[in-house]
Amino acid sequence: MEPGTVVTYGDAVPRTTPRREGSPAVEAELALSFDSFYRSELQRVVAVVYALTGSRPAAEDLAHDAFIKAHKRWEEVSTYDRPGAWVRKVATNLALSRFRRLSAERRALARLGPSPELTFDLDPADAEFWQAVRGLPKRQAQVVALFYLEDRTVREVSDILDIAEGTVRTQLHRGRKALAHKLGADLGEEVTP
């Protein structure tokens, strides 16, 4: 190995074959080689991470995160004799970090004690309305919920969401229009501050 070469993951040793960087042929070769590498290794990496996490969705997410890291550094990683070992090391490190983070969260929640029983009453007659609100774009749903559920003013909604009052009015108008279309109802007059 040449002086100055850094190998971060133990047995993932770089090859010594040089590549001509930047040519379209090299770029195409790298893309094809990553695609082939990804397809051949993904299920095995997911299986290893699943064995550590016990959660298939978490294992898939962490494996994909590891492959994203490999893709970003593929020009370097593809030169390793065992790029699969590098991806597995990254994936298992991500799983360990996840475990530590979840453990810290559990300890913090345990210190807080049992959470108080959260109760709130939404009128069952309004269930269709709130279901329609959940189908709105995120910002419209936020504005409608704060305005109608909490009886907030336009100014208060503006302060809470850190957006201009004009934006609140616009989102409220669009939300009402969409809800009226979905529910076939008149939802009231325009809002003034």
Its sign, for the CA torsion 71, 74, 77, 81, is: positive
Position 143 scores a pLDDT of 92
Mean pLDDT of 40-62: 94
Position 24 scores a pLDDT of 64
Q: Which residue has the higher pLDDT, 117 or 14?
A: 117
pTM, to two decimals: 0.49
Q: How many percent of the chain have pLDDT more than 90?
A: 52
| Helix (H) or strand (E) segment spanning residue 158 | helix 154-161
DSSP SS3 for 76: helix
Give the confidence band of 158 by pLDDT, cuts at 50, 70, 90.
very high
Mean pLDDT of 55-74: 96
Mean pLDDT of 161-186: 90
Q: How many percent of the chain have pLDDT more than 70?
A: 75
State yes or no: pLDDT of 18 exceeds 60: no
Position 31 scores a pLDDT of 65
Mean pLDDT of 43-51: 94
Q: What is the DSSP letter of 119?
A: -
φ and ψ of 83, to 5 deg? -65, -25
Domains of the chain: 24-112 (1.10.1740), 124-183 (1.10.10.10)
Q: Are 87 and 67 in contact (CB under 8 A)?
A: yes
Position 164 scores a pLDDT of 95
| Helix (H) or strand (E) segment spanning residue 52 | helix 24-53
